[in-house]
Amino acid sequence: MTDPLLKIENLRIELKLRSGPIPVIDDLSLELNAGETLSFVGESGCGKSMTALAIMGLLPEKVGSIGGGRILFQGNDMARMNPAELRAIRGNEISMIFQEPMTSLNPVYTVGEQIAEVLRRHKGMGQADAWKRATELMDAVRIPNAKARVGDYPHQMSGGQRQRVMIAIALACAPKILIADEPTTALDVTVQAQIFDLLRDLGRDTGTATILITHDMGAVAEMADRMVVMYAGRKAEEGPVEPVISHPRHPYTKGLISCVPHLLAELTEERPDLTEVPGIVPSLGSFGADACLFASRCYMADAQCRNARPPEVAFGPQTSACWKADIV
């Protein structure tokens, strides 16, 4: 059996507050294999994007830091690399598609120049070769008339086209890992479907492993091989997508799934109401507590849940950090 491409071991990420350091990611462990799509799911503030930024070496300066654990990429600990070593990997072997392309793209450079810059920096291409390759990449991400559009500025493109440019930049150096952080935010449903189709096709064609961060359970079901459910900086549940969705072992996962409307084959007069997960994610001050952080929102919680952190329990390839995992 081959070693995982990326292995995170007991990762702890801390934010420095006036009251002291707070663990926004608390003892996170997971693996990503070559060619696999792993999805991070959870509400805003649960630590999905923070984990991605830690992998990229882009934690907020002076505020965020890795307080423990390892991020092993091909056996090398990225958490211990110096800035020069991280720059050699970032954008080259590990790339990221950020949430909002209009704020990620530079408004004063053409999209072709921004794609070509990645190729010049990491691949040592000359200007002419990099420009030619930028045009090819724009065509690969299905931007119509790429040869003419390569000279456009970001404001001259639609939201979907800008996101495709971001994907072209991320894939320019044929990375081993692609991190897609809410890649369809603010796009209409038709364009969202096109972007997900593009990512799936490119992953299949290039063999790139993908970390997909999303709130869309439908996208998870369609795109991902495995999923990690995050809550308050901790891993609540992990496993292959089909068993996790069909038989969740954590009340939070069950709540997320029950919030998704299901299309019925036949409409009936009486349709089941959507349920909701009551309450909100706890404040940062609660992170790191020796308890189940979901207890205040959970219909199954008891004294044990409120006073002791649940262990991670395995059910075949599926794991759940819940005291009640066997009866959820």
Q: The domain that contains 295 carries what CATH number?
A: 3.40.50.300
pLDDT at 284 over 90: no
Q: Are residues 113 and 13 in the same domain?
A: no
Instruction: Please provide residue 127's backbone torsions phi and psi, each rounded to the nearest 5 degrees.
Output: -60, -45
Residues 6+ apart with CB under 8 A from 199: 167, 178, 180, 183, 210, 212, 223
pLDDT at 118 over 90: yes
pLDDT single digits (tens) 85-99: 999 999 999 999 987
pLDDT single digits (tens) 142-155: 999 999 999 999 99
Distance, CA of 66 to CA of 101 (rounded, Å): 27
pLDDT computed for residue 268 by the predictor = 56
Distance, CA of 37 to CA of 241 (rounded, Å): 10
Residue corresponding to tokens 């882009």:
58
Q: Which of 13, 24, 39 is nearest to 242 (CA)?
A: 39
Confidence of residue 262 (pLDDT cuts 50, 70, 90): low
Q: How many domains does the chain fold into?
A: 2
Domain encompassing residue 312: 6-82+176-197+208-320
Segment 203-207 mean pLDDT: 83
Segment 165-176 mean pLDDT: 93
pLDDT computed for residue 99 by the predictor = 79
Query: What does the radius of gyration of the chain's CA atoms come to, in whole angstroms?
Result: 21
Q: Are residues 224 and 77 in the same domain?
A: yes
Residue corresponding to tokens 């040592």:
124
Give the full edge-to-edge strand order of the sheet including 318-320.
Answer: 94-97, 177-181, 209-213, 37-41, 226-231, 234-240, 318-320, 313-315
pLDDT computed for residue 265 by the predictor = 47
Secondary structure of residue 90 in the 3-state scheme: strand
Confidence of residue 191 (pLDDT cuts 50, 70, 90): confident
Residue corresponding to tokens 């819940």:
322
E strand or H helix that includes residue 309:
none
Q: Are residues 170 and 108 in the same domain?
A: yes
pLDDT computed for residue 263 by the predictor = 41
| 1, part of any domain | no
pLDDT at 264 over 50: no
